[in-house]
Structure 1
Amino acid sequence: MVRAICCGYYGEGNGGDEALLASLLQMLPDTVEAIALSGNPSQTETQYGVQTGDRRNAFQVLKVLRAADWFIWGGGSLIQDVTSTISPLYYTGLMGLAQQMGLTTIAWSQGIGPLQRPITRAMAKRAFSGCNLVTVRDSGSAALLTDWQIPFTLAPDPVWALDPKPVPGLWDFPAPRVAVTWRSHPLLTPKRLEILTRALVSFQQVTDTYILLVPFQLSQDLAIAELVHRAIPHHSQILKLTDPQMLRGLFQGVEMAISMRLHSLIMAASQECRCFAISYDPKVSHLMAELDFPGWELSQIPDDANIISKAWIEHYVNGDRLDRVKIQSLSDRAQLHGELLQSLINS
């Protein structure tokens, strides 16, 4: 039995990162025993049935490293220095320690960058170059590794292949339903949020849809969801879902998603929802370009609520969904992240 540390932004209440952990655990070979480093070890252990360690406790981290065979950077935008320099230093530091201790090290489904500082770029390059296996989820990360001459495999985000679970009570809400996933960001100013909210009110009135407000990370999204709900109190509901498989299952009962978050767009598209994106980050912009999703960069949102609502109405009425053949292709190719873990076991 191989003991593998799963290291990521787990146990922090972020639905996207939890979906990556759930996808990783779903794809790990049966001969691998997972140990997840988490910000909330007891919750992660209860939710996923795995051993855990406190990602903030140096003694616990060192203890699990000494007992493990593999160290897996488990997906997501772990190696970027836009929001903080602490994140790349933490993760590259742990990867470097695991490599020094002789563990098999795996960078799994990484979204690398942006890396704006020379020190973080140098540390990232060194950490990735020492890995036994590297898989990435987007062309930007692939281009960076190509420039660094580090071997890798490119495959779609593993959340494309995450198994959904039904959401109890979902079908009791009025139909048709539209899911809205907005998050706090410096560029989402009070004025922009007010314009978006007015646009959503108008959109709801014209389409007679029921709005599901879905905070993917309560600490960042809930206040916005509550503000929007107050503007549409009788035609909206806030859904606080913590199970990532239920988050994906939610979109089985939704006609369209208006979202800022990468994994809400992936989950929605995978369930044949129409998707309208608002991008705050290159990873969302890359997905928009790859799948031809309509939307705006957050910094370029129109200042006229009528223009926004008309764009949403047009897409709701006439917009295309991702076709089933494309969805199946993305799901099948996403499985490559798991197949390579199995190949590593067999090598």
Structure 2
Amino acid sequence: MKILISGYYGFENTGDDAVLECIVAGLKEKGIYDVTVLSNAPYVTSSKYGVKSINRNSFKDIFNAIKNADVIISGGGSLIQDVTSSKSLWYYLSIIFLGILLRKKVYIVGQGIGPIHRRYNKVLASFLLKRVDMITVRDEDSLSVLKELNIDKNVILAADPVVNLNVCSDERIEKILKDEGIDKNRYIVVCTREWGNNELSRVELAKAIDAISMKYNLEVVFLPFYYKKDELESQKVANYLKSPYKIVRGKYEPNEILGIIKKCSLLIGVRLHSLIFALVALVPFIGISYDPKIDGFLKSVDSKIFKIDKFSSDEIANYAESILNHRDKFIENLKIHLKSLRELSKNNFVYLKNNDDEV
């Protein structure tokens, strides 16, 4: 069986790279190795994941790849939404449309669906998604969005594929921490991202980080998930800090980023996959939401939701105190949710038969 995967790949975004890694691993577990990925950096993607890869911006290459594939997978991530832009949504829907047009099996896998704000985008998404063979989503909120689009057939609740990510070796983690000058086991990780120009949110986040760092004697480590792009936002927050801090500058693979998180005492994350990484690492975390996809994840693990434009530093600091003062209980709760989500994640591959080339 020949599979073509479409997603936001080849952009040096740790979360999306981890999604691809876990989808490819899941396919290989099912005995499927003939995989092609649409990527912004085909050579890098091919060498990293042992797959074929083509330029996601070449219509000719995309058309030929779809024509030669048996199955089209759209996912994971948040592809079916128009918050980023209508152009982004149309790109991913066009891949789905070509798959349907060329009579291929088309599956939406492990995605967070929505929000879709514009009426014509809703109509287009509804028309095409009703015609795919199966949709697996990573949270209950995505099910609600699909229901609003009048899509309720061939829809299955699953989980983000990243819940199955493996961590690198302890030796590799220790080398990374040494290279970055980080004192292992005595640091708090902050994973932020640009969202508007809300200076007040940066100030409040910095105050909260200072309060937690000083109370528990923890070093502050900013960990960019989008290579280079998140460094700028990290620095903007860090400029308001009184505590000493470090910004991780190296370029690391998802399993290495997971290793850095594994050794920290607490993670504060604005990026969705930083929170999922913390869950996988069984590290206490606090999520600050700028998007419904983060709300959906935090709900799924019974975690408190802080809105990026509404939280106060005292609220974050107090919540951190309640977590760290009852750390063992919090981690036991994480173990329960991780086990549940890993079980659900198997639904991302229910359309495939073990060690078989049939769909």
2:235 counterpart residue number: 226
Partner of 1:10: 9
Q: Give percent identity, aligned residues only.
A: 24
SS at match of 2:53: strand
Change (3 A) 1:222 1:341: farther
Question: Deviations along 1:178-224, whole A, 9 cap, x unmatched?
Answer: 211000001x5123212312331232122111222111113541112
Letter in 2 for 1:57: S
After TM superposition, the structure 1 = structure 2 runs for residues 7-86 of structure 1, keeping only pairs within 5 Å, are: 7-28=6-27, 29-86=30-87
8 Å contact 1:171–1:253 — kept in the other structure?
A: no
**RMSD, aligned α-carbons:** 2.2
Aligned to 1:312: 320
| 1:150 match | 153
Three-state SS of the structure 2 residue aligned to 1:218 is coil
Task: Please say if residues 133 and 154 of structure 2, whose CA atoms lie closer than 8 Å, have aligned partners that are also in contact.
Answer: no
Kept in 2: contact 1:5–1:37 (CA 8 A): yes
- Alpha-carbon offset, residue 229 of structure 1: 4.8
Q: Distance in 1 between matches of 2:248 and 2:317?
A: 21
- In structure 1, the residue matched to 2:342 is 331
State the partner residue of 1:179: 189
Paired with 1:94 and 1:307, the residues of 2 have a C-alpha distance of 43
Aligned length: 343
| Distance in 2 of aligned mates of 1:26 and 1:63 | 25
Matched residue SS, 1:268:
helix
Mapped partners of 2:264, 2:25: distance in 1: 25
Determine the structure 2 residue equivalent to 1:132.
Answer: 133
* Partner Cα separation in structure 2 for residue 39 and residue 19 of structure 1: 16
Q: Distance in 2 between matches of 1:52 and 1:232?
A: 46
* One-letter amino acid matched to 1:325: I
* Distance apart, 1:85 and its partner CA: 0.5
Paired letter, 2:161 = P
Separation in 2, partners of 1:267, 1:131: 30
Which of 291, 299, 308 aligns to 1:298? It is 308
Distance in 1 separating the partners of 2:75 and 2:48: 17
- Structure 1 residues 19-47: Cα deviation after superposition (integer angstroms, max 9, x where no partner): 11111101013234111101111221122
SS in 2 for 1:245: helix
- Indicate how the Cα distance of structure 1 residues 323 and 138 shifts in structure 2: closer, same or farther if over 3 A, else same: closer
Alignment correspondent of 1:212: 221
Alpha carbons of structure 1 residues 197 and 292: separation in structure 2 relative to 1, 3 Å? same
**Distance in 2 separating the partners of 1:113 and 1:264:** 20
For residues 85-131 of structure 1, what are the alpha-carbon distances to aligned partners after superposition, in whole Å with 9 as ceiling and x for unaligned? 01111111111111111221111112111111121111111221221
Of the structure 1 ranges 217-226 and 129-138, higher mean CA displacement relative to structure 2 is found in: 217-226
Shift of 1:307: 4.8
Aligned equivalents of 1:211, 1:170: Cα separation in 2:
16
Whole-Å separation in 1 of the counterparts to 2:321 and 2:232 = 25
2: CA distance, partners of 1:33 / 1:136: 24
The separation in 1 between residues aligned to 2:339 and 2:86, in whole angstroms, is 37
Structure 1 residues 64 and 226: CA distance shift in structure 2, 3 A: same
SS of 1:300's partner is coil
Counterpart contact for 1:229–1:238, Cα < 8 Å: no
Moved runs in structure 1, 4+ residues, more than 6 A? Answer: none
Distance 2:315 2:109 in 1: 40
Greater CA deviation, 45-54 or 167-176?
167-176
Compute the displacement of 1:316 (Å).
2.6
Partners of 1:299 and 1:128 lie apart in 2 by: 33
Q: Decide whether aligned partners of structure 1 residues 80 and 3 sit closer, same or farther in structure 2, where only a CA change above 3 A counts.
A: same
Letter in 2 for 1:255: S
Residue 276 of structure 2 corresponds to 266
Given that 1:170 and 1:253 are in contact with CA atoms closer than 8 Å, whether structure 2 keeps it comes out as: no
Q: Could you tell me which runs of 5 or more consecutive residues in structure 1 were left unpaired when the two chains were aligned.
A: none
On the 8 A contact 1:214/1:240 being kept in 2, the answer is no
Amino acid at match of 1:329: S
For 1:93-108, what aligned pairs fall within 5 Å after superposition? Answer: 93-108=94-109
Counterparts of 1:98 and 1:307, CA distance in 2: 48
1:105-116 correspondence runs (5 A): 105-116=106-117
Tell me, in whole angstroms, the C-alpha distance in 2 between the residues paired with 1:203 and 1:149.
45
Task: Give the partner amino acid of 1:178.
Answer: I
Instruction: Single out whichever of 61-70 and 237-246 deviates more from structure 2.
Output: 237-246
- 2:154 maps to a residue whose letter is P
1:330 counterpart letter in structure 2: L
Contact 1:104 1:132 in 2 (8 A): yes
Deviation at 1:274, TM superposition (A): 0.7
* Aligned mates of 1:294, 1:201 — CA distance in 2: 20
- Structure 1 partner of 2:211: 202
